[in-house]
Structure 1
């Protein structure tokens, strides 16, 4: 293994050990910025969050960019609740960082300015929005990303030119009834019974696309002999498309109003943690496919990766309709799965990911991107 390969793995190990939660990526950001400054980059950082970007100068002000996420999950690992890199963001930052380092070392002059974006708070679906508000997408014509994929989605040694994530939103419901002693239920309006009615009624919601609508939390009551005043519920709602999610939301709102009227309770709804679905951009996907083949081989090119998960990368295209973008799905033998506290993968795949990203930049640099793209 060469010195550069050793450095790449050491970078991953350093980032893996830092593991900071969403919005608190201070040490992770400092480490990445320090490595880039040492390579001659000027860092554009921001006061309101730990995201940043660096630019490699090209012949025009038009920008082609790569994005990495920096945050870790907070989850229980061996009985201890702590930040843990079980979604691979440490690997993503490693690959994008080393793509930037390789470009700086090459000394080559691209036609476009090349931007490397390191964003916070992907897990809370806040980071992409923060980076856009801070101007990180100014003049960007093409945006690429990469994500480690479970073995059942993309096999080790292969890479998909696009990940088709679905849309997701979280619904938090508070049902307020009337409390009473359990021996006198006639004086109460039981919010737990209303919660059961709501779960049953939501089974009538349906759209003509793959989707899911499921309760994930239910909390109510503190005593065995008391009918409580409130019940709190959480629903995870997903669809393969943004239109499908909007249909689910509209139908769910109608059901909530119906149950509220039928039960005589007050039901307050809060819609949070929205992430849009991926919208496939054929031009960007073709560039990514060429990059996989050139960096590896025809045999390494996998089909589009359809994922049941969500990813805030897609906010960039959701709010910038003309932006050409794609996220590569990197096969790496990942098991037992993303977000599993014991998630592990073949670290040598990080070299493959770096090589594909580097090649994808040069493929994108050959395109005469239309003016006016955000």
Structure 2
């Protein structure tokens, strides 16, 4: 199952892969602004002889046609950075852009997939089928994958595979369990309206601050008292803006939060209950409520056949000790939009190393990766494609 030429090519090109990652890290671009990154990717694929096309506005799709007929497997990497100020002051490749940083590993994902493309190109004539390379913008705002799907990124694809670097796991480990991996991630916005007035005359007012406070406290009982305890769910209020001045009773309150779960029926139930709780809490005090519910990413549910293949590839390429079980995370990942279209799976590759200070949480200003993990990720990409097409 493991192609030794691919393994050798990944090792031979490891230094180049690391240099590409450092270049991308120092030049971060935010969601839907990945113009330089996508041009670099396009040019790199073209130089490899891989047919590439751009998608609007900043995506790239490459197609490597094998020397024999067969199926088509897609490999996906995301490219966008975050609005985070980098705190790694001693890095030679520190971000050059104030307030922008690759704080989630997308620079590594892009570099690993380019290395995988180069390795697969070296065995092009032996490949029975095609490998499609998807370089996706705007994962951090959960809209990039959907746009890529709409522009034909997985049209005609038989299987799709993605990887995320994972700082919470040791370097060179691989996790890809069948079933739930990442939760659906939705946003809710609630506008509560009361009747403002002087802080000394509360009896003549309807206090939106009291309504909002009561709503936030009541909200948690949606999960604790209306959902099966065996169905994981999280409802979090992250923002609340109430009132205008210390001695004025608030007329308006704005609340924003997120809902995370794995089960579609649970998702529907929480959306309905948010409306019920908001309206009834406001009504107790004589106010009104308006709820906006925005569906973001779907849950990432790994297909069993694909996830089993990932584990088999990792076991043969890196050894039994590389495999570990990672419990599902309530984090969101828009890779789910590809899985809505075709079978596949999404793996985590560990990059945490306390000796290199790379165990910081994703999205933190000190986030960094152990670059030794990139060989694992690049080879996993390439060997998975080879294994799927030759199995």
TM-score, normalised by the number of residues in structure 1: 0.91
Alignment map for 1:1-374 (pairs within 5 Å): 4-46=13-55, 48-58=56-66, 59-60=68-69, 62-78=71-87, 82-151=99-168, 154-162=169-177, 164-206=181-223, 207-208=227-228, 209-272=231-294, 274-317=296-339, 319-320=340-341, 323-333=342-352, 334-367=358-391
Indicate how the Cα distance of structure 1 residues 305 and 111 shifts in structure 2: closer, same or farther if over 3 A, else same: farther
Indicate how the Cα distance of structure 1 residues 137 and 278 shifts in structure 2: closer, same or farther if over 3 A, else same: same
2: CA distance, partners of 1:22 / 1:273: 19
CA contact under 8 A between 1:211 and 1:240: conserved in structure 2? yes
- Offset from partner CA, 1:260-290 (integer Å, 9 cap, x none): 3223323222223522112231100111112
1: CA distance, partners of 2:294 / 2:28: 25
1: CA distance, partners of 2:321 / 2:217: 48
Secondary structure, aligned partner of 2:187: strand
CA contact under 8 A between 1:125 and 1:274: conserved in structure 2? yes
Structure 2 unaligned residues grouped into runs of 5+: 1-9, 90-96, 353-357
CA contact under 8 A between 2:145 and 2:337: conserved in structure 1? yes
Indicate how the Cα distance of structure 1 residues 91 and 168 shifts in structure 2: closer, same or farther if over 3 A, else same: same
Higher alpha-carbon deviation: 275-284 or 79-88? 79-88
Secondary structure, aligned partner of 2:300: coil
Indicate how the Cα distance of structure 1 residues 341 and 241 shifts in structure 2: closer, same or farther if over 3 A, else same: farther
Deviation at 1:41, TM superposition (A): 1.9
2: CA distance, partners of 1:366 / 1:107: 13
- Structure 1 runs (4+) deviating above 6 angstroms are none
2: CA distance, partners of 1:292 / 1:279: 19
CA contact under 8 A between 1:290 and 1:363: conserved in structure 2? no
Indicate how the Cα distance of structure 1 residues 2 and 64 shifts in structure 2: closer, same or farther if over 3 A, else same: closer
CA contact under 8 A between 1:119 and 1:131: conserved in structure 2? yes
CA RMSD of aligned residues (A): 2.1
Deviation at 1:305, TM superposition (A): 4.5
2: CA distance, partners of 1:360 / 1:3: 19
Partner of 1:370: none
Structure 1 unaligned residues grouped into runs of 5+: 368-374
Indicate how the Cα distance of structure 1 residues 227 and 255 shifts in structure 2: closer, same or farther if over 3 A, else same: same
1: CA distance, partners of 2:33 / 2:292: 25
2: CA distance, partners of 1:52 / 1:271: 31
